Each structure stands twice: as structure tokens, then as C-alpha cells.
Amino acid sequence: MPQRQPTHILVVGAGAVGCFYASKLHHPDVGIFVSLVCRSNYQTIAAEGVQLKTRDFGEYHFTPHRVFASISDAGRGAPTAGPDGHGGWDYVIVTTKALPDRVDDAASVEHVVRQGSSPGTGTTIVLIQNGVGIEAPHRLRFPNNPIISCVTVISAEQVSHGIVVQNRWTRISLGPYSDGVGNEAQSASSSPSSTTTTLSNASTESMHLLQSWWARGGIKDAEPHSEKELQLIRWHKLTINASMNPSAVLSGGTGNADMVLLPELRMHIRGVMDEIFYLAPRILQVREGSFPEHLGLASAEKIIKSTERNKGAKPSMLLDWEAGRPMELEVILGNPVRMARERGLECPRLQSMYALLKAAQDRREEKGKDAKVGEGSKL
């Protein structure tokens, strides 16, 4: 029997989410090897690996196959060609923050992606990131490669370099990505062998393999979906990210539970959620009234009620604002606003928050530049 070709997976972004899901994909005993691209935690993880303290799996240690200090290093250190003649990384998983106004993620991973020579070939690109519209730049740059889009619900943090704590949840939803709507959008005259169909089929095959490897690692709620279902799940998560995150910043640092217990803020948050529930089925061309119930997803009121118990929690956008870091404005607010505008749809709450926060962030950065110029001119 011929020896099975090893599968080499590269995870770009060794934060809490990246390290946790990487640890559950790494199965050297069956030829699945996971490597990491790190930044500030490179020295620690390269020397000591990752120590995980989890609610669901106890404490355990993860030693990546290889550890790289940059994507360029990972490109130079890519696996060599095997018996099938293919070298390079089989899967590249991106778990970094999505900041398209600062970083072109698709261009940044070009060094580690084996370009497909025909539809459905080459490195499979996996995106575990927040927001909507994150896949389009990758499809544009890598027209033939399989792409898997993922939405995760997990509470985890890297409390220090190489130390990851998983507090709650492990769910990750997966879906293929061809053009954002998939085979369901093809007309009756479309050929079954069209590029969209081929991409969708190849991405679906890669998705099921990825889901099976996570299941082997104990992630029982890694859930495969169709392309359109996964995009609806992305929009559903947006009801939380686009309502809670911006509102926490604009309200001066109010936490999630406190916001939904204040009558006016609760009304505002419900209004943002209703806007997204209105937009999603129209943008994705699904029957009105079928979202989110047919996917078993929570209603706006159920999300708000659950948030009442989330005391002391600060959403990620507020943490970024307080730390002076750029916020994920474009994928959480900007992209939905632009998608709606292209279709003649109104979303005044989303648009207002986007305009205000974008202006606030730009103004703060301009002040920071002016301060640096001033410091440089001192004698």
C-alpha cells in the first residue's frame, strides 16, 4: 500500500483562537502536521510550544510541527514536493484580525499559498475572522483556490506568551466559498462544470476533511454548512459584533450587560440587530422570514436577554479602542453599509456608527502623527 501523503497546515495568527484550533488539528500519528506563524510570542512558542488551560479538555501542551517568525519565513520554509509532485502548504488558516484598511490579508499570505492552476486546485485558504465580505479579496487574488469561510463562537484568551485559556464554547461553523452565494445563485442555463460549481465542490471537499480533523481532536461542534448558510451565520454573528462593539465605544466604555440594561441603549442595540436581520436575507437572496429561524439561530430578543448575564465583559472593539489599536470597522460596519448601498437598501444605524467611529479613529491617528512630529522638532 502506498504511503499516505502528509498534510501540512499553516496557521497565520498565533493568538488564543489560532493556537486553540491549531492544537485540535495537529495529528502527527495520521500525517497531519500543523505549523504556526507567530509575532510577539515567537520566541516563547518556538522554544516551549503552547500550554493550554481549557474548560472542555483540561490542561495540555501543544508542540507545533514548526514555528515561524513571519509569513515570509513560512514561505521559505514551506514543505518540499512529495510523491504527488506538490509542495508547499496544503491549508493556510488565517486567524488574524481583519483590517482591510490597514493590511491586505490576501496579498500578505501570497508567499505561502500555492496558486491553483485550474479551478479547485492549489492551497486551501481558511478564514476564521469576524465580519462580512472578508473572502472577496482572497477570491480575487486566488481565483482557482478552494476557500473555506469559518465563524467561531469561543471565549479564549492568551494570558501571556504561549499560555492560552479557553473559558467557554468551542463551536466553529464552516462553509465553502466560491463567489459568496454559491451554486444556489446559478441560473438554470449555467453549466454544471462551471468555475463556480468546481470551486464550490473542491471547497466543500476540503471543508469536510477539515471538519473531520477537528472532530478527531474532540471539537464535536465543528459544523459544516452550505455556502449560503455560512454567509447567513456570518450575518447573524454580525448582529452581536455590529451592535455591541461600536456601541460600547460610542457610549464611553459601557460593557455589554450594562448596555442592554439601560433602556435607551437596549432600544438602540435592538434597532441595530433588526437592521441586520432586514439586510441579510435581501443581500443573500433568501426568502424573507426564513432567517434566522430556519438555521436554528437565536432571535434578537434572545441574544439581548442572554447578554444581561454577561457582566463585566468588554467587547473586542472597545478593548482595541482603549489600547489605541485600530478597530475592525470595515468588516463589521463598513462592508455591510457598502453592500446595502449597492442594492439600494437603507441601514441608518449602521451607517451612523460607521461614520462616527471612522472619523474618531482617523482624528485620533492624525493627532498621534502630529504629536510625533512635534516631539521630533524639539531641540
pLDDT score recorded for residue 156: 93
Q: 268 and 244 in contact (C-beta within 8 Å)? A: no
Categorize the per-residue pLDDT at 190 as very low, low, confident or very high, splitting at 50, 70 and 90.
very low
The architecture in CATH of the region 231-369 reads Orthogonal Bundle (1.10)
The residues near 2 (Cβ < 8 Å, ≥ 6 apart) are 83
pLDDT score recorded for residue 3: 43
pTM of the model: 0.93
pLDDT score recorded for residue 377: 45
Cis peptide before 292 (omega within 30 of 0): yes
d(C-alpha 117, C-alpha 290), whole Å: 39
pLDDT score recorded for residue 290: 66
d(C-alpha 254, C-alpha 218), whole Å: 36
3-state secondary structure the chain: CCCCCCEEEEEECCCHHHHHHHHCCCEHHHCEEEEEECCCCHHHHHHHCEEEEECCCEEEEECCCCEECCHHHHHHCCCCCCCCCCCCCCEEEECCCCCCCCCCHHHHCHHHCCCCCCCCCCCEEEEECCCCCCCHHHHHHCCCCCEEEEEEEEEEEEEECCEEEEEEEEEEEEEEECCCCHHHHCCCCCCCCCHHHHHHHHHHHHHHHHHHHHHHCCCCCEEECCHHHHHHHHHHHHHHHHHHHHHHHHCCCCCHHHHHHCHHHHHHHHHHHHHHHHHHHHHCCCCCCCCCHHHCCCCHHHHHHHHCCCCCCCCHHHHHHHCCCCCCHHHHHHHHHHHHHHCCCCCHHHHHHHHHHHHHHHHHHHHHHHHHHHHHCCC
CA distances from 309 to 154, 313, 351 (A): 17, 10, 29
In the chain, domain spans: 7-185+193-225, 231-369
What are the grid coordinates assigned to 240, written together?
452581536
What are the grid coordinates assigned to 147, written together?
476557500
Categorize the per-residue pLDDT at 168 as very low, low, confident or very high, splitting at 50, 70 and 90.
confident
The architecture in CATH of the region 7-185+193-225 reads 3-Layer(aba) Sandwich (3.40)
What are the grid coordinates assigned to 223, written together?
459544523
The residues near 226 (Cβ < 8 Å, ≥ 6 apart) are 175, 176, 182, 184
76-92: pLDDT as tens digits = 999 986 655 567 999 99
193-249: pLDDT as tens digits = 488 999 999 999 999 999 999 999 999 999 999 999 999 999 999 999 999 999 999
pLDDT score recorded for residue 87: 78
